[in-house]
A and B are shown apart, each in its own frame.
Chain A
Amino acid sequence: MFIDFFRAIRKIYISHNIVLWLVLLILPVVTSVFMVNFFSAEIIQHVPIGLLKQDRSQLADKVEMALRADPVLEVAVECNDRSECEHAVIRGDLQAFVVLPFDMERRALRLETPVIPVYSSGQNYLTNTFAVKEIRSVISSIGADLFTKQMDDPIHVELKSVSNNSGNYQGFLGLGLVTAIFHLAGILAAVYLFSFPFRDHRVREFLKAAGGSRVVLGAATVLPLVVIQWLSMVAVYAYARRALTPMTFDEFVVVSAGQLAMILACSGAGAAFVGITGNMRMSSSVAGVIAGPAFAFAGQTFPVMAMPLVVRGFAFLLPLTHVLKVQSAMLLGSVGKAHAWESIVVLLFMALFWHLLASKLLMLRWKVAEEKEADWEAREKLHLKDKLKNIAGTVYSDLSIRKAVASEIAKRKLHKGGAND
């Protein structure tokens, strides 16, 4: 049985084309590492803003210098009029622009509180939040220096993101995206592995390699898939996580268990899609529709509680939602452990359900495909026999024609020779 198992693994994984390895390992790892490195700047900086200086005073210069010195902002354009800045925002060259109005200093010193208009593009929600917050902070600190330099603010607010103090985007989004990519990979790779024997009409060949046992074939298909994807996911996750607070061994075990359960659930779902649709093209489409935008439904960017009820139900059915819960609970340290296990149990139930459904459907599909392939082979043999017969007939008639032609030529030669004589 073990020999059959390993023979089937070799048949499926080793003697196959590059597409399998692209779908199974290369693309998930490469795209995940790509996304982690995409956020290598870690925090939002150098947001381009414009400045329209209508006031040419010391205070205006001070505000300008403070804006230029701020690491989050970058004064990219100093506009001559409002329309220049507006068009730059429309084109997307600027995120926001600040207008320092005429007589700003004079009016500020007279305590007439001249308002500084800040126009920002809300289209880019996140960058806008950062830019506006920073502009507000820079200008209010310059303003505070005017009359109350020695007087500190009585309440100082410190905003802390637990386990991600610096607001590192590799932590915020990078980790979630890595998981989302492997969520898609788990389903797609299972779809590919379970459907290509049907596509290439090689079910009999694979079953033969598995010693005729469908259980062995199923296990030989799914187990290496799970191991390869789980290990690569753990490795990429650890790489992405390096910028945040290091995990303890316990946390690592819980997160890895969650990821393993997710890969199990995803591979089961992929296999079940093949069982339902019966072909690679349809099952890939279904996998794409469900797993492609899964990250939008999983609640890490937009909270699940703010989604409509039906969408919340759909989000619950996605393994990604639960594994992200495990990962986010473990970001809080040991207090999140109990909650994380609840999500892992849900994932394991999902895995069980999908694998049972998949095995039931695939057993039937394999049986039907085996019979069909045998039938085709028999027909092909028959067809080949007929073909051979036809060829033999043609050759025979060809030979007899040749013989007849040759004897005719010989006759004519003889006749010609006789005439010459």
Chain B
Amino acid sequence: MIDLFKRLFKVAFAEWKLFYTDPAAVLLLVVAGVLYAFYYPTPYMKQTATDVPVAVVDLDHTVMSRELTQMSAAAQQIDVRYVFSDVREAEEAMANEKIYGFMVIPQDMEKTLRNGGKTNVNVFTHGAYVMLHGNIGTAFTTCALTVGATTKVKRIALGKKVPAAKAIAMRDPIPISVQTMYNNTGSYSNYVVPSVLVLILQQTLVIGICILGGARAHRKFRKLQRDSSVENELMPYRYFGRSLAYFLHYCSFILFYHFVVYNVFEFPRRGEILPMVAFAIVFLFSVINFGMVLSQVFLRRETSMQLFLYMSIPILFLSNFSWPTELIPAWMKGFSCLLPSTFAIPAWLAIEQRGADIYDAASLLLPLAMQAVFYLLLGLVLTNLRDGSKLKTGDM
């Protein structure tokens, strides 16, 4: 038994040493995990987009339209930079990206409202910017509807001959109160970065395993050590020993993200110890075995990097982080079940961001555990097959 552990740890230590001595491995398994964790969130340092430049096209030029303009200027999300009298001027400003949206106050708005009529206020936003569309739309809509609400309350009070307080209650008898949980400031980084961190772990680990040839024996790039006993241990020792090295190395990354990266970028840390440990074990075993399977496919070390760089964007979106799973085409949903991140990202968000306990996390971790077992079996079979074949091309 002791000999078994000795041999296992010998293989693990030799592989771990390689993480720091092989230039390609250092870049992927050490530098990339740290670099990306700080590099990726930097655009979102300010967390929210406030004071978005906008304009108001005032075709009414009345007290009420000026009131609406002032109200818009006071909104936190937008900054009214220009007040135009012509829609064309606003369109040109938007084309030059001086503004990202504008509100058109129609001619005779005040007159229409005072005469008991109704009017349309149009808000235009730039079709290419998804986030600004929401911010500008919310700010202008709130201001316009507030003016509308005031008018409506007056009408109710006069029409139904009730006091103002009652008129307010009649206008909106069942008001709603929205409690935004887990990201109450609407931080964009809090929304995107935690998911991306899990993806960074997965991608660097899978590419790293592929670059180091998984559990292969006689790896050509090892040159002097090609025929050493550690390099060519029995297949199960090689497979599990190297997996152990990756597991321990990436456990340190999870701790680093939890204690350092989350602190630096002020992301909420609600993860409890037990679900976090369960997540680390299941997620890493799933990804390591996934990597061990894929590593048997490539002939050259860098090919995995070139191919996986393309996959990052689809893999991220397939994890249900921004687009509801129900809206994804069925075949894509089926394909996504092959990827650890599809289950790992929602599990990580539930545990770390929303504080899921072990019971809540269990249902999310089960598919990952099943993946880990499936890829483990496949990995062992493929490694065994690969050991038997003598490939002459490539550097693995």
Contacts and interface: CB of A to CB of B under 8 A. Distances in A.
B36 to A, nearest CB: 7
Contacts of A325: 97
Contact of A156 (B121, B138, B191): B121
Interface string A145-173: 01110011111111111111001010111
Contact of B124 (A122, A126, A160, A177): A160
B186 interface: yes
Interface stretch (A179-187, A354-362, A377-385, A393-401): A179-187
B113 interface: yes
Given A128-B180, A136-B178, A143-B172, A162 B94 contact: yes
Contacts of A162: 94, 124-127
Given A155-B147, A162-B126, A288-B309, A143 B174 contact: yes
Given A125-B186, A132-B178, A158 B171 contact: no
**Contact size range, B:** 35 or more
Contacts of A108: 173-174
A414 interface: no
B332 interface: yes
A312 to B, nearest CB: 9
Contacts of A142: 174
Given A46-B324, A151-B156, A171-B127, A121 B181 contact: yes
Interface residues of A, number: 127
A121 B182 contact: yes
B127 A156 contact: no
A165 B275 CA distance: 44
Interface stretch (B12-20, B226-234, B315-323): B315-323
Nearest to A86: B181
B121 A158 contact: yes
A38 B319 CA distance: 12
Contacts of A124: 191, 321-322
Interface stretch (A4-12, A20-28, A206-214, A403-411): A20-28
Contact of A123 (B39, B306, B354): B354
A45 B186 CA distance: 21
A154 B50 contact: no
Interface in B142-158: 144-145, 147-148, 151-152, 155-156
Nearest to A177: B313
Contacts of A74: 326
Interface stretch (B255-263, B297-305, B374-382): B297-305
Interface in A282-322: 282, 284-285, 287-289, 291-293, 295-297, 299-303, 305-308, 310-311, 315
Nearest to A325: B97
Nearest to B268: A123
B48 interface: yes
B174 A113 contact: yes
B144 A37 contact: no
Contacts of A111: 166, 169-170, 173
A250 to B, nearest CB: 14
A44 B155 contact: no
A390 interface: no
A295 B190 CA distance: 17
B329 A120 contact: no
A19 B306 contact: yes
Interface stretch (B128-136, B238-246, B283-291): B128-136
Contacts of B188: 125, 301-302
Nearest to B112: A154
Contact of B181 (A59, A122, A181, A280): A122
Interface in B19-37: 23-24, 27-28, 32, 35-36
A154 B119 contact: yes
Contact of A31 (B134, B310, B328, B353): B310
A27 B313 CA distance: 12
Interface stretch (A88-96, A220-228, A257-265): A88-96
Interface string A251-286: 000000000000000000000000000001110110
A261 B170 CA distance: 60
Interface stretch (B2-10, B55-63, B212-220, B356-364): B356-364
Interface string A119-139: 111111111110011011001
A197 interface: no
A176 B128 CA distance: 8
Contacts of A63: 174
B170 A152 contact: no
Contacts of B389: none
A31 B314 contact: yes
Given A116-B176, A121-B182, A158 B120 contact: yes
A72 to B, nearest CB: 10
B384 interface: no
A240 interface: no
Contacts of A90: 350, 354-356, 360
A184 to B, nearest CB: 6
A339 interface: yes
A109 B174 CA distance: 10
Given A115-B176, A303-B52, A123 B182 contact: yes
B177 interface: yes
Contacts of A230: none
Contacts of B180: 120-122, 128, 132
A335 interface: yes
Contact of A303 (B129, B144, B155, B174): B129
Given A296-B43, A306-B50, A285 B27 contact: yes
B310 A181 contact: yes
Contact of B43 (A112, A120, A175, A302): A302
A155 B329 contact: no
Interface stretch (A231-239, A326-334, A345-353, A367-375): A326-334
A336 B91 CA distance: 9
B40 interface: yes
A325 B312 CA distance: 23
A39 interface: yes
A140 interface: yes
A80 to B, nearest CB: 17
A284 B302 contact: yes
B383 to A, nearest CB: 22
A160 B123 contact: yes
Given A177-B313, A308-B42, A328-B128, A91 B353 contact: no
10 contacts: A27-B310, A123-B191, A129-B138, A154-B151, A156-B121, A156-B148, A172-B130, A184-B309, A281-B301, A302-B188
Q: Which 5 pairs, one residue from A and one from B, show the smallest C-beta to C-beta distance?
A: A155-B148, A122-B183, A328-B128, A164-B127, A41-B327
Given A172-B128, A306-B48, 6 more contacts: A39-B323, A117-B176, A169-B130, A295-B313, A300-B128, A332-B94
